[in-house]
Structure 1
């Protein structure tokens, strides 16, 4: 498969994705925002604990 065929396949696949995708409604958007915020808080908390343990251990 050459570069032109690969590019054409990418464009075709991208158009298909855009056709089936839709804009989330307010409830869906709020739910996604909450889940993302919870994930950020969890990852941040884990990072904070690791840094604190590093200071306690002396690394």
Structure 2
């Protein structure tokens, strides 16, 4: 395949994805936001614990 054929296939596939995709409703958006905030909080707590343990053992 040449570049033009690859580009045309990409455009065709992108159009197909956009036809199938839907905008999330309010409840779905809130659930996704909660999960994201929870993930960021967990990563923050893990990082804090690592720094705290490092300072306690003198690193």
- Per the normalisation by structure 2, the TM-score is 0.87
- Per the normalisation by structure 1, the TM-score is 0.87
**Runs of 4+ in structure 1 displaced over 2 angstroms?**
none
**Count of aligned residue pairs for this structure pair:** 59
Unaligned runs of 5+ in 1: none
Unaligned runs of 5+ in 2: none
The two structures, once aligned, show a CA RMSD in angstroms of 1.1
